[in-house]
Amino acid sequence: MAAPTDWVPVLNTTGEVIPAGGLMKVTGVDPGTGALSVAKPDTNDDASVCVNGFALIPANGTGQGSFDRRAIVAYDPVDGTPAAGDSWGAKAGTWLAKKSQHGFRVLGGAGLGLVNAVRAGVRGFEAVLTSFYDAKQGYSWKREKLDTTVPGYVDAVPGLSGKQAFSYVGETDLLPGTLGWMEPSPDGPGWIFIHCCGNLSSSSSSSGSSSSSSSSNPSGSSSSSSSSSSSQSISQSHSQSISQSQSGGQCCVQVLVDVAITFDPSTCNFTLTKTTKTLCATIQNGQICLTLT
């Protein structure tokens, strides 16, 4: 059984009637109703167009559209009859799909100016989940965009939101606010959500000092970590040699004494901090003296 079409309310902002199956460019969101403001496409090959439903939308009137992958699309008969496998799509200045444009691949059944088609070449986009998981509807979501002036992700304008998003790896415990990548399902209505797990960045630092005098080889470690409601730290001690030198009867080696990994769940970011110290050995009065600084 095919999944129901995910209809969204639209507002025709033009003085023209939008035909059934017409291709519509989203230009914004009506503040009074929340409906998507739509107009005639003004670019060619726009794969992000919304497709009108089965009824005409009067000038400056309201209707419903869909971003589903499969759609019944209005075509321009001037270009002939669409055949299965043909590429048709949006063209600036018309509500009708045009031949040799890109955006839809014809499935067949052309007649009365309408044809069964499937979106082709639709690119994914950044999105954030806006609900907990529902067994029937999956996750609700809204589109985000990268704002390099912040920097960070902000709500996309014009806004785009929906439901029926399901995790690529089957996650059902994702929280509202989870950021990721959204792709249209290749098998019908619905969306595939790819959850992002953050970046791993590292920085090296040399801090603290300690010294000891002994006839055996001691090991020193120094770690620092901080935690709050939004971060956790994990520290591990190491004695891995990374460099060594010899000068004036003194032998020194650089040792990695501590690694701290901090995770910030609010940004899904990992930070790796390494601490190194210098271990030197000298002979004084017949004794081996070790100094860790």
Amino acid at 135: A
Q: What Rg do the C-alpha atoms of the chain give, in angstroms?
A: 30
Q: What are phi and psi of 77, to 5 degrees?
A: -65, -15
Long-range contacts of 204-208 (CB under 8 A, 24+ apart): 204/273, 204/274, 204/275, 204/276, 205/273, 205/274, 205/275, 206/275, 206/276, 206/277, 207/275, 208/275, 208/277
- H or E stretch at 150: none
User: Which residue is listed with tokens 């670019």?
Assistant: 43
Distance separating alpha carbons of residues 36 and 28, to the nearest angstrom: 6
Q: Give pTM, 2 decimals.
A: 0.46
Instruction: Summarize pLDDT for 193-249 with one digit per residue, the tens.
Output: 887 643 223 333 334 433 333 333 333 333 333 333 333 333 333 334 334 455 556
- In SS3 terms, 40-103 reads as CCCCCCCCCCEEECCCCECCCCEEEEECCCEEEEEECHHHCCCCCCCEEECCCCCCCEEECCCE
Q: What are phi and psi of 283, to 5 degrees?
A: -110, 120
Instruction: Summarize pLDDT for 114-153 with one digit per residue, the tens.
Output: 999 998 865 677 888 889 999 988 999 888 776 667 666 6
Most confident of 37-41, 44-48, 148-152, 254-258: 37-41
Report the candidate in 34, 38, 81, 43 with the shortest Cα–Cα distance to residue 60: 38
- H or E stretch at 179: strand 179-184
Q: Is 262 helix (H, G, I), strand (E, B) or coil?
A: strand
Q: pLDDT at residue 157 above 90?
A: no
pLDDT for 110 equals 94
Amino acid at 94: T
Distance separating alpha carbons of residues 283 and 251, to the nearest angstrom: 10
Q: What are phi and psi of 79, to 5 degrees?
A: -90, 5
